[in-house]
Structure 1
Amino acid sequence: MTAETETERNELRALSRGVRVVLWDFDGPICRLFAGHSAERVANDLAAWLEGRGLHGLLTESERESLDPHVVLRAVDRRHPGSDLVAELEERLTQEELRATASAMPTPYADPLIRTWTAVGARLAITTNNSPRVVREYLASRRLVPCFAPHIYGRTQELNHLKPHPHCLNRALNAMGAAPTSALMIGDTPSDLFAARAAGVPFLGYARSDRKSKLLRDAGATTVVDSLEPVLRLVRDLRQA
């Protein structure tokens, strides 16, 4: 939705009302991490690295063709949980994510929305499947670390806790002493929606394309925006109230 109609504005206003804590997914709502550093190439490189070690059989054909590095990582972890192999694969992915931060593209309106929400007294946290090292490096480049620190909850060695598991959301809520109903999760994938639902947190979908919007709505998201601009307007109204 573009939040242009009165009904849509009211829907977004109702979702935002009373929010004390905002849980942000990272790659999507805050930036396009792989805007200049292809996630598909990273996934292929991880699969090729496994193949070069005679481990081609660890991935199914659909997993090899997923073009999603997290699919590759989780697939190996399911078959060899907690192994040195998984730890090395995760570190390789982290290094690729760190390289990607140099060309990451900020999501339009994300920076001012983060600063404005902080200014009106909301507390913010990152709840992501990306490495927390990557998140900190990107936020530092945008001078946004003070808006979130220390509440940055990303990928750990416990890969079974990646979203759609609500682990990172629950860590954030517990650390901030926040009730789920006082929070709002902003995410751009069905796994974000499912994690928010499992944690009891209201969800706002962000979709930069019709395809992403359809995926979110088909998964059950009821409020989806294609721009953060109407959210920024609402929060600015709160600041002026």
Structure 2
Amino acid sequence: MLFDFDGPLASLFGNHKAHEVARVLRRSIDSWGLAPPLSDPDNPLQVLRDTARAYEGTPSAHRVAELDRLLTTEEIRAAGSAVPTEHAHELVVWLVGHGKKVAVTTNNSAAAANLYLRRMGLAEFFGAHVHGRLGDTLLMKPDPSCLKEAMRTTGARARDCLMIGDSADDCSAAQGAGVTFLGYANDARKQRELEDAGARHITDALVHLFEERRQEERRQP
């Protein structure tokens, strides 16, 4: 099982708000005298992505790495107060207890995801299989690179994997990697976004993934 981090496992910016982080990034961009066109100025990952696209191959390209480091710092800060997604912990424990491998495939920094997993007592289940931004910002999802890296480190084949994510980029990355995709939508906006991206399977609660099987197991003598 390949988990996106922010959404399926936790609300990373549940307390340390995303629009405030995006403002921190924009202030740095302004201080450098840059003015990239921002498609979603309140989304810190999109601010990073748009800046990378705007200045790739230019003398200002080194600023993208600085912006990435700044975002990582903010994500790590946010991970200290991130809000767990309901039933995510139970799902991870249930999967591993049934012999399944789990990995994180996220556009957030691996450092932030690992901090959260340690905080919640989940790090042992994921081990080294936490894959975040790979250094090249342009390889963020929807590029499937982090999914392919997760399959490489777990030894899993694409046809044996399921990815759960909550965005169109997650859906596109799964398609690009040849992995079955399950959308997680806890509100109508997410539902529409995933449907528009072509997601064929969507759930509004992680408990649906294991509760029926768990009840069947309890009934067995």
With normalisation by structure 1, the TM-score equals 0.85
Q: What is the letter of the counterpart of residue 214 of structure 1?
A: R
Runs of 4+ with deviation above 6 angstroms: none
| Structure 1: gaps (5+ residues) | 1-21
Q: What is the letter of the counterpart of residue 74 of structure 1?
A: R
Deviation string 1:44-76 (CA, Å, 9 cap, x unpaired) is 221121112211x2x22x43x431111111122
Partners of 1:173 and 1:235 in 2: CA distance: 26
Instruction: Quote the offset at 1:193 in angstroms.
Output: 0.3
Report whether the alignment pairs 1:124 with 2:102: yes
Q: What is the letter of the counterpart of residue 20 of structure 2?
A: R
* Candidates 3, 10, 30, aligned match of 1:31: 10
Deviation string 1:77-112 (CA, Å, 9 cap, x unpaired) is 123338321111001000110111122100000001
What is the root-mean-square deviation of aligned Cα atoms in Å? Answer: 1.6
SS at match of 1:203: strand
Partners of 1:68 and 1:150 in 2: CA distance: 28
Report whether the alignment pairs 1:95 with 2:70: no
User: Are the aligned partners of 2:184 and 2:205 in contact in 1 as well (CA < 8 Å)?
Assistant: yes
Number of aligned residue pairs: give it: 216
Larger RCO of the pair (alpha carbons < 8 Å, separation 6+): 1
Partner of 2:44: 69
User: Are the aligned partners of 2:19 and 2:43 in contact in 1 as well (CA < 8 Å)?
Assistant: yes
* Candidates 45, 62, 80, aligned match of 2:55: 80
Partners of 2:64 and 2:53 in 1: CA distance: 10
Partner of 1:147: 125
Partners of 2:133 and 2:96 in 1: CA distance: 24
Instruction: Mark the CA change 1:203 to 1:24 in structure 2 (over 3 Å): closer, same or farther.
Output: same
Partners of 2:12 and 2:142 in 1: CA distance: 19
Instruction: Mark the CA change 1:239 to 1:183 in structure 2 (over 3 Å): closer, same or farther.
Output: farther
Report whether the alignment pairs 1:53 with 2:32: yes
Instruction: Mark the CA change 1:79 to 1:111 in structure 2 (over 3 Å): closer, same or farther.
Output: same
| Structure 2: gaps (5+ residues) | none
Partner of 2:147: 169
Partners of 2:190 and 2:217 in 1: CA distance: 31
